[in-house]
Amino acid sequence: MNADPITAVIRCRRTVKPAMFSDQAVDDAILREMLENANWAPTHGMTEPWRFFVFTGPARLRLADFLASTYKELTTPDNFKQSKYEGIRQSATLAPVVIVVGMKRQEIEKISELDEIMAVACAVQNLHLTAAAHGLGGFWSTNIAATSEAMRDFVGLGPKDQALGLFYVGHPQSDWPTSKRGSIDEKVQWISE
C-alpha cells in the first residue's frame, strides 16, 4: 500500500461553507461513493451507528424552513440573532446536497454512547475526505437546530438516537482554500518508559 495519496487528501481537506459553493450539482456516483466510504468507518462491536439523510433539490427548502423555525424555537429572545436565523436557512439552500448526520443507538446499549458518537464522527471524516478527493467542499455544522431532538424527530430517528449535525457538500466557486497547522511536536508526548 502507498500512503502518499491518503496523506495528500488528509492534508488538503478543508472546510468549505455553503456560501462558498457554486450552484453546480454534485454527481450522484460521487455522493454514493462518499456514503459507501463513510460506511467503512471504524465501529466498536460492529454496530455501524451512522445514519445519513440526504437532502437535494426542493427537499432542501423544507429542511431550510425546518432549521430556521427550530433555531427560533430553541433560542431565547436574548440570544436570538436574526443574522444567524437567516444564515441557517440560507445554508441549506446554497448547498446542492445537505446530509443530516444521525446516530442510531443500539437497543441493548452494550456499546457506550460515546463510542457510537465517535464512530459516527469517523464516518463523517470519511465523507469529508472522499469529497475532498473529488474536489468537493464539505462542512460539518452542529448548530442548535441541527443537533436538536426536533431534528432527530424530523428525520425519523428514534428516541434514544441523536441528530449529530449537517454535512454540506458542493463544488467550491473559487480556488481551493489553503490552511496551516501548528507543529505536531507541541501536541505529542512520546512516552517510552
Tens digits of residue pLDDT in 3-62: 788 888 888 888 899 999 999 999 999 999 999 999 999 999 899 999 999 999 999 999
β 137-141/50-56 pair status: unpaired
Rounded to whole angstroms, how far apart are CA atoms 179 and 124? 20
Q: Does residue 72 have a pLDDT over 90?
A: yes
Can you give the pLDDT at residue 176? 79
pTM for the model stands at 0.93
Confidence of residue 99 (pLDDT cuts 50, 70, 90): very high
**Binding residue ranges:** 13-15, 44, 140-142
Q: Classify residue 106 by burial, with Cβ atoms within 10 Å: 0-12, 13-18, 19+.
A: middle
Can you give the pLDDT at residue 11? 84
Q: Does residue 97 have a pLDDT over 80?
A: yes
- Domains, the chain, with CATH or none: 13-173 (3.40.109.10)
**Binding residue ranges for FMN:** 13-15, 44, 140-142
Can you give the pLDDT at residue 179? 84
Tens digits of residue pLDDT in 108-154: 889 999 999 999 999 999 999 999 999 999 999 999 999 999 999 99
